[in-house]
């Protein structure tokens, strides 16, 4: 069995100025899970939990695979035959699965992306993949929304970008105030999506205007 699912390669820190953070080995990660099981009040050596540390480590690698992908590189390849296309492109209802950085519990929802191309059009699967890469990191929804929009703007340089995310946070539905009916909606409007009310209205109309008229973020 592979004992180095968590390779000891360094990873870049995007929220601190420390530069490089060493990634623990799989045994170190499994030991941390064992400690948490004991902290919860159970015995990690009992039959039902004996393999749990290894399973949790494998699950974490899947949950947080976005740290190993360069999101900008996803958008570098564009379609030359669509260089003259200048109408709005919208991808809506992209399933979103992320984890709250405050409690490391799931954020579940959907993302909507629209942009007005300025000579560069990218495959729609790349936009969905961009959402996935940023979502598979420890996140807060406001930052996630901005990261998606800002990356599209920086790499494709369109006339404008709009991103709206609707999501439920299990840090509110399964703990704390335990309110399962709450949905959080965030938006990020850049370029013509921020400055032109008609463009913004068209985008929100296409995605179903989930929570009224957003004026940007």
Three-class secondary structure assignment of the chain: CCCCCCCCCCEECCCCCCCEECCCCHHHHHHHHHHHHHHHCCCCCCHHHCCHHHHHHHHHHHHCHHHHCCHHHHCCCCCHHHCCCCCCEEEEEEEEEEEECCCCCEEEEEEEEEEECCCCCCCHHHHHHHHHHHHCCEECHHHHHHHHHHHHHHHHCCCEEEEEEEEEEHHHHCCCCCCCCCCEEEEEEEEHHHHCHHHHHHHHHHHCCECECCCCC
Q: Is there a catalytic annotation at residue 103?
A: yes
Q: Is there a catalytic annotation at residue 99?
A: no
Catalytic residue among 54, 97, 103, 142: 103
Q: Is there a catalytic annotation at residue 147?
A: no
Catalytic residue among 4, 38, 76, 102: 102
Q: Is there a catalytic annotation at residue 159?
A: no
Terminal CA-CA length for the chain: 47
Catalytic residue among 54, 101, 142, 202: 101
Q: Is there a catalytic annotation at residue 202?
A: no
Q: Is there a catalytic annotation at residue 153?
A: no
Catalytic residue among 141, 147, 159, 166: 141
Q: Is there a catalytic annotation at residue 100?
A: yes
Catalytic residue among 26, 30, 99, 100: 100
Catalytic residue among 99, 112, 159, 169: 169
Q: Which residues are catalytic?
A: 100-103, 141, 169, 171
């Amino acid at each position: 069995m592979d004992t180095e699912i968590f390779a000891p390669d360094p990873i870049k820190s995007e929220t601190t100025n420390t530069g490089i953070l060493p990634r623990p080995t799989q045994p170190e990660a499994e030991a941390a899970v064992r400690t948490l099981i004991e902290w919860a009040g159970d015995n990690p050596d009992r039959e039902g939990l004996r393999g749990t540390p290894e399973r949790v480590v494998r699950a974490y690698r899947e949950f947080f695979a976005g740290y190993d992908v360069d999101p900008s590189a996803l958008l570098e390849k564009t379609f030359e035959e669509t260089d003259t296309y200048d109408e709005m492109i919208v991808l809506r209802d992209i399933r979103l699965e992320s984890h709250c950085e405050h409690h490391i519990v799931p954020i579940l929802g959907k993302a909507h992306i629209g942009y007005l191309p300025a000579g560069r059009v990218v495959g729609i699967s790349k936009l969905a993949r961009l959402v996935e890469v940023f979502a598979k990191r420890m996140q807060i929804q406001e930052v996630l929304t901005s990261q998606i929009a800002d990356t599209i703007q920086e790499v494709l340089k369109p006339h404008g970008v709009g991103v709206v995310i609707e999501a439920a946070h299990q840090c509110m539905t399964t703990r704390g105030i335990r309110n399962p009916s709450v949905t959080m909606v965030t938006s990020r409007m850049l370029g013509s999506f921020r400055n032109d009310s008609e463009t913004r209205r068209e985008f929100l109309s296409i995605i179903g205007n989930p929570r009224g008229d957003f004026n940007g973020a």
